[in-house]
Amino acid sequence: MSAPPAAFSGAQVRVLLRAHLAEALRPGRNAEGIETRPLRQILLPMAMLGAWLAFGARAESAPSLLRTLFLSAGVVVTLAVLPDPAEAYARRRDVLGHLPVGRATASVARLVFLLALLALLLVPFALPSLTLLAWRGEAGGVRVAGVLAGLLTLALAGIGLWLTVAFALARRFGVEAVRKAASVALSVAMVAVVLVGSASLLVDEALPLDGAAELLPVLPSSWFVNWLLPDAGARAALEATGAALVAALAVALLLGMRPESIYEQGRGAAAERAGLAERLADGLERRFGARLASAPLALLVVRVAAREPLLRLRARALLVTLVGVWAITLLADRAPITLPFVAVFGLFAVSGGALDLANSADAEAAWAISVAPIEAGDRVAALRLAALVRSALLPALLVAALAGRELGAVGAAVFGATFLAVALWLASLVVALRPREPLATPASVSGGSASLWLGTPLALAGGAALGPAWGFLALPGPFALTAALIYGLSLAAFAQGLAAWGAARLRAAEARR
């Protein structure tokens, strides 16, 4: 019989750390069954986000830029670390729970793993700003090391406090609800960072970062960096002490965290509340489901896509960014790229959304669709309908509102209707170019890059197809509407042809199965 576990074992910490790192960072499938490449998934977006932030704040002074960096990093990185989903917790419990490891050893291993994860998140995010400062001759080796240490301490403090609050909320509302709320907050935070970067492009002037100059230094996130800055004054030492105390408290909280009771109290059983797209698809199915085999399938596709975390996150990130860009362009006095930008971005959401609908974390369950008596043409129609309901309606409304503001009611009608026709054409083009069974391809993070490389040229083509709408507005009102109607119908006919081609290709693919 082996000896009982020691209270603390450094050797076990190393073994556990390797296991945690392998589980978190190796390519594979997550608890939702989605194929993941975690390192790429962490490093690339964080580096892009960091670059975007540095670009937006490029004219700021070093203290202002660093404080902005600390504020953004504090929010984004803290929210990026979520309580594990119940399935992941159960898997870890099944694999590691029975091992003879003391509680202190397990807690320290988790803490060291968290530090490693934070470093992976923070370094690519901070690197562009630090490079900019170094290029301006405002960051030497010591300052860079100090900034990275400060960022790590800040993130650790943020996560310790955030996870304590998150688990308290999870006890009340369930882990899934907290994860969902945190992902929405993270999307908003990321959009905020993107908007800081885009501000100079969209409204031809930087956001008032200088206006926040008085507020920034006193924010808790700045306590972790003020000690490095020349303008911090006498209170810097006090703030640094406060920051260290907060970080120590956070570490104590992290080491003492016992989330088992939350996960063991029962898994979230309630069915999800239907979103707007799902309710709309349900209404269409109720109305036309008896006659159109595509309607029940479209409802299924919208329903599954709305509830799959990866697909939902992709769609939400695009739509939230779109709304953010739209709001800025609407509020700005002078907006050099407004309507075309919002329209093309909206069409990118449509093409990306249509591409995404072939994927699912439960792709193995697509047998339920394969054995259903639905013609290939109806499958294609279902995909197009689902893409429109899920991804096109909100952008169409935003485009119409923007056009209405700039060009009046006729402009709103012409652009709104033309956008929808182009969206239909685009969704048809997607199913023609990549004919896939709905929800039958295993969802993977790389699916997002497919949306990018194929979605971008498609969105640009869609933007070009939207071009004639400008010409229609040169005509008197009724003629403009008639021209838009004729053009929309032509696009719809073209879309039907593309859909028929897509269905033929899908049938051919089925024959090869």
Partner 1 sequence: MAEPAIELEGLTRDYGERRALDGVTLAVRPGEVFGYLGPNGAGKTTTLRILAGTLRPSGGAARVLGVDVVDDPVAVKAGLGYIPESGAVFEKLTPREFLAFSGRVRGLSREATAARTEALAERFELDGELDRRLADLSKGTKQKACWCAALLHEPPVLVLDEPLSGLDVESVARVKELLAELARGGVTVFYSSHLVDLVERLCHRVAVIHRGRLRAVGTPEQVAIGSGADTLEGAVRRLAAAAVA
Q: How far is the CB of 446 from partner 1 (least distance, A)?
A: 21
- Nearer CB in complex with partner 1: 57/299: 299
Residues in the chain: 513
DSSP lists the bridge partners of residue 359 as 441
Hey, how many other C-beta atoms are within 10 angstroms of the C-beta on 306? 19
- Distance, in Å, from the CA atom of 279 to the CA atom of 286, rounded to the nearest integer, reads 10
Calculate the alpha carbon distances from 22 to 15, 27, 38, 92, 155 in Å.
11, 9, 10, 12, 22
- Of 246 and 358, CB closest to partner 1: 358
Phi, psi for residue 290 in degrees, rounded to 5: -70, -30
| Vertex 491: Cα angle to 479 and 329 (nearest 5) | 75
CB of 321 to partner 1, least distance (A): 24
> By the criterion CB under 8 A, which residues form the site for partner 1?
33, 87, 267-272, 285-286, 289-290, 293, 295-297, 299-300, 303-304, 307-308, 360-362, 364-365, 367-368, 370-375, 439, 510-513
CB of 266 to partner 1, least distance (A): 9
**From CA 168, how far away is CA 175, in angstroms rounded?**
10
Nearer to partner 1, 228 or 293 (CB): 293
> Least CB distance from residue 432 to partner 1, whole Å?
21
Cα distance between residue 139 and residue 122, in whole Å: 17
Compare residues 18 and 93 and give the one whose CB is closer to partner 1. Answer: 93
Which is closer to partner 1, CB of 150 or CB of 502? 502
- CB 46 within 8 Å of CB 124: yes
Our CB check for partner 1 shows the closer of 155 and 298 to be 298
Q: What is the DSSP letter of 85?
A: P
Q: Which of 408, 37, 341 is nearest to 204 (CA)?
A: 341
Shortest distance, position 513 Cβ to partner 1, whole Å: 6
> 3-state DSSP call for residue 36?
strand
Q: Which is nearer to partner 1, 302 or 410 (CB)?
A: 302
State the CB neighbour count (10 A cutoff) for residue 368: 10
Nearer to partner 1, 20 or 390 (CB): 390
Nearer to partner 1 by Cβ, of 91 and 267: the residue is 267
Other C-beta atoms closer than 10 Å to the C-beta of 475 total 15
CB 223 within 8 A of CB 239: yes
Q: What span, in angstroms and rounded, lies between the C-alpha atoms of 198 and 49? A: 11
Distance of closest approach, residue 91 Cβ to partner 1, in angstroms: 14
359-360 vs 441-442, strand pairing mode: parallel
Instruction: Report in angstroms how near the CB of residue 380 gets to partner 1 at its nearest.
Output: 14
Both tokens of 343, joined, read 């329209």
Q: How far is the CB of 496 from partner 1 (least distance, A)?
A: 21
Q: How far is the CB of 456 from partner 1 (least distance, A)?
A: 29
